[in-house]
Amino acid sequence: MAKKTIKNVNVAGKTVLMRVDFNVPLDEQCNITDDRRIRMAMPSIRSVLDRGGKLILMSHLGRPKGRPDAKYSLKPVAVRLGELLDKDVAFAAEAIGRHTRSKAAALADGEVLVLENLRFNPGEKSGDKEFAASLADMADVYCNDAFGTCHRTDASMVAVPEAMGGKPKVVGFLVAKEIQYLSEAIAKPKRPFVAILGGVKVSDKIQVIKKLLGICDKVLIGGAMAYTFSLATGGRVGNSLVEEDKVELAKELIAEGKDKLILPVDTHCGDDFSGDCNKQVVPSGEIPDGWQGLDIGPKTAELYAEVVKNAKTVVWNGPMGVFEIPPFDEGTKAVAQAISESNATSIVGGGDSAAAIEQLGFGDRVSHVSTGGGASLAMLEGRKFEAVELLDDE
């Protein structure tokens, strides 16, 4: 899957159209509350600008349903990017159109233009070829540095590079790094290889659990999906979040996984979904009526930390409990700390696990924190990404 990167292209005097993932969280006043995704794209952005390229950046933000919506505008992102670059950043109020084309044509070497939210146009989600051609026509080079959407077939991911024809089509440094870590973890892991899977739904992670059971030495289960497994073994789950229609599937995974699949041995429960509820720790499968599991228990946290300590490769996707509400963050914290203290190659999937590891201050003590939750799961499943496959091979 080795692809040419932006560093392999002479960009001096050329216009580079770069798909980035600027889908950042905004508060009600449209202030950016976490600029990590912008900062992660900076190496690719600087590579183009520092070498005299003209750069057009395109991204989606939120789910605006194919029409303009002020609360999903990328204008605040353009402002923040200008602060990070310490230079003026131009902004186009539409992704395509006459005014956007003229702004793109007016770019001087080393200048950057941010396009308005791609999803303000219905052609982005539908993969519309005319929409894609309008974007592609503005550039000499296409660069994909948006790993979080690499598993999608949106126009900017597939139809735009197709419309570029014989012009260079490459990956940015972020996508290159994601592919390196995630594909190598699957293809040639150092052993013992341990996967830790949390989150709410078994259904979201069925294929990745199946895939990892085939290649991992241990697969540890946490989060709310553990309660579906608990039901599958005849346990009591009280008011815990479960997928009753996935109990048979959980039974199959338990049978398939045998001693590879490790389930929690105790559960930290509350009688309400809040930090100041009544709390108790019970053995797994013995959650009383009126109570719900909100985290793995201390014995499970200790057990999982011990497994991680001896691992050589660790992949983690999904928190162990409701990590936003102390004290139900203890299980996630214990796993994050064990990963950060291990000597393993450690890969943390995007989404909540990435947020948790950053929030707990361990982000710089793991090998790789992925920027794409859904994309990292899809790659761990072994799925091919059309958005990457059609780019130029190294």
Write the CATH number for 136.
3.40.50.1260
Among 37, 119, 169, 211, the one annotated catalytic: 37
- What is the pLDDT confidence band of residue 207, given thresholds at 50, 70 and 90? confident
Q: Are residues 195 and 143 in the same domain?
A: no
Flag whether 227 is in a domain: yes
Shared domain for 85 and 49, answered yes or no, is: yes
Residues 319 and 366 in one domain: yes
Residue 183 inside a domain? The answer is: no
- From the list 62, 66, 363, 374, the catalytic residue is 374
In the predicted structure, residue 350 carries a pLDDT above the cut 80: no
Residue 351 a catalytic site member: yes
Q: What is the mean pLDDT of residues 317-342?
A: 93
**Residue where one domain finishes, among candidates 122, 143, 175:** 175
Whether 62 is a known active-site residue: answer no
> Within this chain, do residues 97 and 221 fall inside the same structural domain, yes or no?
no
Q: What's the mean pLDDT in 112-121?
A: 98
Do the domain assignments include residue 389? no
Last residue of some domain: 175, 204, 232?
175
Domain termination site, one of 175, 203, 236: 175
Q: Is residue 279 part of a domain?
A: yes
Q: Are residues 77 and 163 in the same domain?
A: yes
Range of the domain at 99: 6-175
pLDDT at 184 over 90: no
d(CA 368, CA 370): 6
The verdict on residue 181 lying in a domain is no
Span 136-164, mean pLDDT? 96
Q: 372 exposed, middle or buried (CB, 10 Å; 0-12, 13-18, 19+)?
A: buried
Q: What is the pLDDT of residues 257-305, one digit of tens each?
A: 999 999 999 999 999 999 999 999 999 999 999 999 999 999 999 999 9
Residues 217 and 300 grouped into a single domain:
yes
**Same domain, yes or no: 150 and 199:** no
In the chain, % of residues over pLDDT 70: 99
- Inter-residue contact 56 to 49 (CB < 8 Å): no
Q: Of the residues 4, 7, 101, 201, which is catalytic? A: 201
Q: Please indicate, yes or no, if residue 391 is contained in any of the structural domains.
A: no
Residue-averaged pLDDT of the chain: 93
> Measured between alpha carbons, how far is 394 from 386 in angstroms, rounded to an integer?
16
385 assigned to some structural domain:
no
For 48-67, what is the mean pLDDT? 97
Q: How confident is the model at residue 1 (pLDDT cuts 50, 70, 90)?
A: low
- Considering its fold, how many domains does the chain have in total? 2
Domain co-membership, 159 together with 198: no
Q: In this structure, are 257 and 311 located in the same domain? A: yes
Residues 200 and 85 occupy one common structural domain: no
Q: Lowest mean pLDDT: which of 135-144, 181-190, 381-390?
A: 181-190
The torsion angles phi and psi of 368, rounded to 5 degrees, stand at -155, 130
What value does the mean pLDDT take over residues 383-393?
A: 92
Residue 321 catalytic? no
Do 239 and 278 fall within a single domain? yes
Has residue 104 been placed in a domain?
Answer: yes
235 is catalytic: no
The pLDDT, as a whole number, for residue 15 is 98
> Which one is catalytic: 127, 222, 257, 351?
351
Nearest Cα to Cα of residue 173 among 351, 4, 364: 4
Clarify whether residues 254 and 346 are in a common domain: yes
